[in-house]
Amino acid sequence: MPGFHFTVNVHEKEHLSALKEILYFENYFHKILFKEKNKILSATLYENYPLKRITEGVFIEGKIYNNPEFKTDILKIRNEKDIEKFVDKNDGDYIIFIKNKKGIVIFNDFLGRLPLYSYKDNNKIIISREIGFIKKLIEKFEIDKKGLAEYLVFSYPLGERTLFKHIKRIPPFSFILINENEVKIKKIKELNFEEKEGFTEKELNKVIELFKKACKERYDGKSVNVLSLSGGLDSRTTGTALFKEKLPFICVSCLLPDKSNLYDVEIAERVAKKLNVEFHLIKTEEKKEHIEKLLRMKYGLNNFKFAYSIDFFEKLWKLKGRKINCFTGFGGPVLNPGIFPYRKTRNIKELYKYIIEKHSYFKPSESAELLGLNKKEIKEDIMEILENFPENTSDFKYSHFLIYQRDFKLVFEGEDRNRFFVWSQTPFYSREFFEKVISIPKKYKENLKLYRNFLKNLWNETAEITYANAGMPITSLKFKISRYLFSIIYAFFPFLQKKIRESSHINAEEKEILKNYIGQSNLLNFHKKFEIKSRNSLLILNLFYIEKLSTGDLFWHRRYK
């Protein structure tokens, strides 16, 4: 992963050797940024990746979009309060490294948009943008069974946990203080997603202006600005804002290897035509080497089913060169009612039940049984995380779960995969816009009302193009009726939603296939040959290969024999 790698008590030869192991493409290079006694700060980079030296011992990875004078603000930082003020003021996706009299200070932005990992034992301290770098430098690289159990439930481990023992994800809005052989990691602030009264529909234009401002600030006039466009609402909203701001850009869409999204890319092309911008369709292929490379790049935190994205970006490089600023629609769901539960949850138990119904792949009891863990303990761990969220009511704790767990551990990891190739960002996570939209009461978001009005007011022409997920425009009467019925069904007949989820669960035939074929190297043809389509099968396959990659000990294989 391009970005920072910091070690304490690691020999320079070992540090450099680990860096060489994570140079995945021919345009990657590494360099030492800072070295003092037993401490080394280095970076892996490609040309144009945003990592800069501010002054002696002070570096920034990423971008700050809203403040051209941010360097002056960085140099004023002396303590925790200064860090809090800085993060509150500066909108961006970043990690900042400062060497001062107190030691080494590292901190991130308000949502922790750039994944950062830590490891500490009795001797070594490692802070890195990449788990693969940490793996090269530690003696025991072991699977965390609780992390795996949570992964089987949600497709990501919760909280600071990763899939590996002693390797933690640094929380958002946090700082790390390293002094000699001591390391302190502290969360400065955690956002509260309680509704704020006072919003009226008349304020919608102000929200739209904040969004356009975010697009304008993220635009890079020195690069090729590319919008990754689908047939959904989020990326077209980003494109519409760029269009309205008269900012030149091109659109690219990805055709999946199995061509299952043909309808989606047809809609995307119609949107691009309406925006009067250059459009390219990149047809991707599924290659075994891409699966293996993605597993090494993300160590299971991005499912191998997204391996086609490597082919996508390599073809994008050939098409438009490597100086690319990529816009996406990540974060768009903050505008829709899915940020709240479809039915009211009165307490943590009901919230837990709702989350498991709506978001689980395996039930916690099933994942615990597979791993030989205490069934009750997995459930209690999840409920404790929910209980500790700062909101007073369970419905708003659900919003917190979606942002601080799902987005932080799933969406941000997916977006970070893109940064192996190009700088990728989204206006939806702009600080001002995000905090304004997340606090808008549920009644304005119901049945996609807020999103519909937002896009219509931004530019009605793109709002009237078919929404691929629904097969109709969101402005149509048919869509409004269908959304209303959808919300009623899920609110009063939750078992129907559960049935839909269970239809994608692993079945007996697939389990038998897994018993007989897991551990074989020809993974690419494996799920093609047996037409394994369920989400659970792919989830397990991903874990098999993480296990193989990390330790060579396929305990999964033994369990299914």
Q: What is the DSSP letter of 557?
A: H
pLDDT of 362 reads 82
- Order the strands of the 167-169 sheet from edge to edge: 29-36, 39-45, 3-8, 125-128, 117-120, 167-169
Q: What is the DSSP letter of 170?
A: P
Q: Fill in the amino acid letter for 244.
A: K
Q: Fill in the amino acid letter for 76.
A: K
Question: Is the separation of the CB atoms in 234 and 263 below 8 Å?
Answer: no
Beta-bridge partner residues of 103: 100
- Structure confidence at residue 547 as a pLDDT band (50, 70, 90): low
Tokens 């360097």 sit on residue = 71
pLDDT of 27 reads 95
pLDDT of 220 reads 98
- Structure confidence at residue 539 as a pLDDT band (50, 70, 90): low
pTM: 0.91
pLDDT of 554 reads 36
For 149-159, write each residue's pLDDT tens digit: 898 899 899 99
Q: Residue 276 pLDDT > 80, yes or no? A: yes
Mean pLDDT confidence for 164-178 = 96
Mean model confidence pLDDT for the chain:
88
Q: Residue 436 pLDDT > 90, yes or no? A: yes
pLDDT of 157 reads 95
- Structure confidence at residue 142 as a pLDDT band (50, 70, 90): confident
Question: Is the separation of the CB atoms in 64 and 41 below 8 Å?
Answer: no
Q: How many CA atoms lie within 13 A of 143 on its CB side?
A: 22
The C-alpha atoms of residue 59 and residue 37 are separated, in whole angstroms, by 19
Three-state SS for 292-323 is HHHHHHHCCCCCHHHCHHHHHHHHHHHHHCCC
Q: Which residue has the higher pLDDT, 338 or 448?
A: 448
56 backbone dihedrals φ, ψ, rounded to 5°: -55, 120
The C-alpha atoms of residue 423 and residue 325 are separated, in whole angstroms, by 5
For 41-88, write each residue's pLDDT tens digit: 999 999 999 999 999 999 999 999 999 999 999 999 999 999 999 999
For 440-487, write each residue's pLDDT tens digit: 998 899 889 999 999 999 999 999 999 999 999 999 999 999 888 877
- E strands along 387-531, which residues? 423-425
